[in-house]
Amino acid sequence: MYYVVTIATLITMALALIRALIGPTVYDRVLTVNMFGTKTVLLLSVIAFLAGRPDFLDLALAYALINFIGVLAVLEFFKSREIRRQQERDVEQESTRGKTG
């Protein structure tokens, strides 16, 4: 019964990995890393339950946390990069306006 879920999750991980490798924009890759993390949590829960060791469910909870924090960190990185690029563009515009004006 659990093998169906495990095999489905493993196949989805492989598909997500393919998208991470070919995804044209960086947001595709962030999306697949997030998906990968959630699938890892599922796989861990199923295997922990299959092996009859409920202590291992702590790992699944920790992974879910880490996944969330990782995705937010990546997005924060993007935002700060956008802001810096916007600032550089503003500075350039001001300098060209200063030159012509």
Tell me whether residue 51 or residue 101 sits nearer to other proteins (CB atom): 51
Q: Please tell me whether residue 91 binds other proteins under the rule CB under 8 A.
A: no
Tell me whether residue 69 or residue 91 sits nearer to other proteins (CB atom): 69
CB of 101 to other proteins, least distance (A): 24
What is the 3 state secondary structure string of 31-95? HHHHHHHHHHHHHHHHHHHHCCCHHHHHHHHHHHHHHHHHHHHHHHHHHHHHHHHHHHHHHHHHH
Tell me whether residue 1 or residue 100 sits nearer to other proteins (CB atom): 1
CB of 50 to other proteins, least distance (A): 9
